[in-house]
Amino acid sequence: MEKVVLIVGGNLGNRLALIEEVTLLLSKTLGNPLSFSSIYETEAWGGISSGNYLNQVLVYETNDKPEFILKSILGIEDKLGRERKVKWGDRNMDIDILYYGSKLINKEDLTIPHPFIQDRRFVLVPLNDVLPDYVHPILLKSHSELLDLCKDQSQVSVYLKLNPGI
């Protein structure tokens, strides 16, 4: 079994209801999460967006291959009506694989660990909820260390406090 770490979020529609729905849809493929972060409201990063995002990190344990997980999450995004018009633009739901255990994968359609983890507060803050001491397999720093070093100054605040316990 491998731990797979996902981040889910969006800035369109009923953002909280969409996170709840995506968690239910993910449970059909990956089961219930081992742990999850609080839900954070965050400023847009890297693109042109019309509003703040809600984001949450979810941790699962699975025997599924990363390529199968990617295909599944793309299907969930499609089912929820995700449109890919502008890179880093508005979206109702985005699901990214952050980690698949400590495996390193570099394919045209899949890079694990996600290449921007260390650059994004909206990723590091919820990661720090659930895996503060986890060491990034390339950067060899924990999430709490990466958060301290992160140059991104965008606003990340608790939207819904959840108990991230296992």
Catalytic residue (one of 64, 84, 90, 91)? 91
Task: Judge whether 148 counts as a catalytic residue.
Answer: no
Catalytic residue (one of 15, 96, 121, 129)? 96
Task: Judge whether 94 counts as a catalytic residue.
Answer: yes
Query: Which residue bears the tokens 């301290």?
Result: 148
Pair 160, 129: CB distance under 8 Å: no
Catalytic residue (one of 78, 84, 90, 94)? 94
In angstroms, what CA-CA distances link 59 with 29, 82, 99, 124, 134?
13, 22, 9, 14, 12
Task: Judge whether 96 counts as a catalytic residue.
Answer: yes
Catalytic residue (one of 15, 64, 78, 82)? 82
Q: Would you tell me the crossing angle of helices 15-30 and 66-79 to the nearest 10 degrees?
A: 140
Residues that are catalytic: 82, 91, 94, 96
